[in-house]
Amino acid sequence: SASRAAGIIGVGVIGRSWAMLFASGGFQVKLYDIEQQQIRNALENIRKEMKLLEQAGALKGSLSAEEQLSLISGCPNIQEAVEGAMHIQECVPEDLELKKKIFAQLDSIVDDRVILSSSTSCLMPSKLFAGLVHVKQCIVAHPVNPPYYIPLVELVPHPETAPTTVDRTHALMKKIGQCPMRVQKEVAGFVLNRLQYAIISEAWRLVEEGIVSPSDLDLVMSEGLGMRYAFIGPLETMHLNAEGMLSYCDRYSEGMKHVLKTFGPIPEFSRATAEKVNQDMCVKVPDDPEHLAARRQWRDECLMRLAKLKSQVQPQ
């Protein structure tokens, strides 16, 4: 029925992933894009992906690929994609003016119940939703690429977003198998990218200062920290690495502060260092489209297997 429909605005990389996730949860999905050809591409691409996933035993949800595909349809205009939907997920390119235009358009055609959600990675809700009549129903739901294999969704409210909007979006994300978390107040980079940039910043500095090679730096994450981080976060790591958090802080906070004081300013990301890092990266993955695509495919397959593993071990 219409109340089980989600509208997707913009069906590039991210819009397609959302479409697959909503269909896996049994929702009807209506696709809209400014380019009709993009909708045809998306439908074709989603069909191929779902068939492959089904063959690999990695299709999400309880419906077959054909059943899920039958839930997804293209729309010739934005009104049709919105009609009867309980959730609209905006996935147009990362451009504030373009997104504001889309939300103004949506604002003028929606009722008081539908949720208007943006996939933006770094635009602030206060900028995106400023002045909308339906601002209470607006929220950012930021996915992580590739969303089909990485379940986290950051929910970021506008100061005027209604608590029920956050709660409903949270529940919906869980229903489609994603893992939502709440960012209580908007902040540049939200939470995921703030953590990611902190890591990139220190990684860059260590390489620039000749302390470690770029490929060895990456090993520290993939063979070290990342092994834990797929299961427990940095705070729980502290908790477990002593007799609880308080004991960890008693034992290690002075040592941490001593090291943290040696961190430097924001890196310049100079061309010289970028070239040095690139050279090392290209030994394993040459930076032409074919090699990059093959490596991404390998990454996605690893993530798919990790997701399977996590679903087996998680219940604790």
Asked whether the CA dihedral 192, 195, 196, 197 is positive or negative, the reply is positive
**Minimum CB–partner distance for residue 31 and ligand NAI (Å):** 10
Structure tokens at 280: 């090392």
Q: Element (H or E) spanning 297, and its range?
A: helix 289-313
- One of 4, 12, 63, 130 touching ligand NAI (CB under 6 A): 12
Instruction: Select 30 or 238, whichever has its Cβ closest to ligand NAI.
Output: 30
Q: Residue written as tokens 């605005």?
A: 9
Q: Residue written as tokens 């992933």?
A: 17
Region from 62-70, 113-121, 241-249, 278-286 binding ligand NAI, contact rule CB under 6 A:
113-121
11 near ligand NAI, judged by CB under 6 A: yes
117 near ligand NAI, judged by CB under 6 A: no
Structure tokens at 178: 């994603």
Residue 105 CA from chain centroid, whole number: 25
Q: Which residues share a beta bridge with 28?
A: 5
Query: What is the Cα–Cα distance from 143 to 125, expressed in whole angstroms?
Result: 15
Query: What is the Cα–Cα distance from 246 to 233, expressed in whole angstroms?
Result: 17
- One of 5, 6, 9, 176 touching ligand NAI (CB under 6 A): 9
14 near ligand NAI, judged by CB under 6 A: yes
Structure tokens at 19: 């479409």
**Minimum CB–partner distance for residue 313 and ligand NAI (Å):** 27
Instruction: Select 9 or 114, whichever has its Cβ closest to ligand NAI.
Output: 9
15 near ligand NAI, judged by CB under 6 A: yes
Region from 9-17, 69-77, 148-156, 196-204 binding ligand NAI, contact rule CB under 6 A:
9-17
Region from 66-74, 139-147, 181-189, 203-211 binding ligand NAI, contact rule CB under 6 A:
139-147
143 near ligand NAI, judged by CB under 6 A: yes
7 near ligand NAI, judged by CB under 6 A: no
88 near ligand NAI, judged by CB under 6 A: no
**Minimum CB–partner distance for residue 99 and ligand NAI (Å):** 7
For residue 17, what are the contacts with CB-CB under 8 A and spacing of at least 6?
143, 145, 146, 147, 148
- One of 2, 3, 35, 240 touching ligand NAI (CB under 6 A): 35
Neighbour count for residue 249 (Cβ, 10 Å): 13
34 near ligand NAI, judged by CB under 6 A: yes
105 near ligand NAI, judged by CB under 6 A: no
Residue type at position 271: R
81 near ligand NAI, judged by CB under 6 A: no
13 near ligand NAI, judged by CB under 6 A: yes
- Using CA atoms in the order 294, 300, 14, 269, what is the torsion angle rounded to 10 degrees? -70
Structural contact between residues 166 and 153, judged by C-beta atoms closer than 8 angstroms: no
Query: What is the Cα–Cα distance from 128 to 231, expressed in whole angstroms?
Result: 33
- One of 7, 10, 74, 125 touching ligand NAI (CB under 6 A): 10
Site size toward ligand NAI, by CB under 6 A: 23
Instruction: Select 194 or 251, whichever has its Cβ closest to ligand NAI.
Output: 194
Instruction: Please report the DSSP string for 233-254 in residue order.
Output: -HHHHHHHTTTSHHHHHHHHHH
For residue 87, what are the contacts with CB-CB under 8 A and spacing of at least 6?
6, 7, 114, 115, 117, 169, 172
92 near ligand NAI, judged by CB under 6 A: yes
49 near ligand NAI, judged by CB under 6 A: no
Give contact residues for ligand NAI (rule: CB under 6 A): 9-15, 33-35, 38, 91-94, 98, 102, 119-121, 142-143, 145
